[in-house]
Structure 1
Amino acid sequence: MPNKYRILISLAFFLLAGCQSHESPIAPGVVIKQDLGDISLTLTLLTEEELLKRHGKSGNPFVAYPGKIPRKDFFVFDTTISSESRKVLFNMQEILLNLDTGVSDNAKSRATLLRTWDFYLKDDNSKAQMKRIIKQNLSDNSFTAAPGEDYRGYIVFLVNTEAAKEGTLLIPVETSDGDKGIIEMPFNFTATDSESENIFNKS
């Protein structure tokens, strides 16, 4: 058999293998909490089952990403951030997820998540529904939390999770009076109600 046909057959087999069913590595009940002075963060890692229950299957931007090389999974954190005495500012695309395999990804803003799906969306109804769901659940790139005005929404990543078991979130934060720092939130995909550490350093 000529080499070019062997290559095509091997590639076809590889692509078909990538299309086989894929079990999400994320277990239910993963909650990360952080209290930093007057700032409190609670992030619940949502399973695919929960995301389907909330948003359905058609036009759901948080499940079943069709890209196969490499296979990627969504990490969707249902997030609440509160501040008791001062306004705090965040930049969505500066929030970083590091996995224990060395893989990392910056959080998606509304615009970057939509661009992630652009190549795969051909149906106008699905596009419209996806855009609506993203707008309802994700912040634009910049967002804040202030006394009496909690931030509530999703923080979303799309990463290759092969062989990964643990991750760390790095969340840059700036207060209205000029303090800056990075909140570090380690977690395990199967742990529940874990308290995180932080490396919040004033500049």
Structure 2
Amino acid sequence: MSGRWSRAVAGAALMLALPALSACNGGGDPESEGTPTPKFSEAPSESASASASASGPAPGPVTPKQIAKAYLRELSRGINEGEVDGFLNYTNGACINCQSVADGIEQRYGSGGSMKNSSGWQLVSFQKLGAAPDGPGTVYTSTVDIGSQQSLDASGSIVQQSQASTETFIFLFRRVDGELKIAGWDVK
């Protein structure tokens, strides 16, 4: 799969040239291995919430949509705080686009600069497209609202900015040691 970045997304994703999704690999097919079920319902009762808190952290996201939402939430936080481990935890380690964005964030913050994202990256829609064309995995299309962003140098001067936009993303999910992960993404 390949796609080109629009100017808005290029700015929003640190104007990195991102390779095609098919370069990402690893893991098994989430459809053939079954989808894990959450330990708690979508809206647990107060007693279930209390017992979940008392016994430890609630389970993390388990469906592709939940993982995509969590990834985008952590990406937004990473942009604003310079912390990339949060969103990289949702990837399989072979996602080139994920690592490219992480490298850009670390480079900006590592040089004393910072970044600001007005309203984060929000998942608007999410739909299964089918099996991955290059091996095991499942591909989903999604609409993502991306807030306006600014990259600042160490003196606080704006060195790059992008306007808010709505983009179509393609996500590839694969299993790694039984756990569903983002193996790649691209912009349509």
The answer, yes or no, to whether TM exceeds 0.5 is no
The structure where strand makes up a greater share of residues is: 1
- TM-score, L = length of structure 2: 0.30
The structure where helix makes up a greater share of residues is: 2
Which structure has the larger Rg over C-alpha atoms? 1
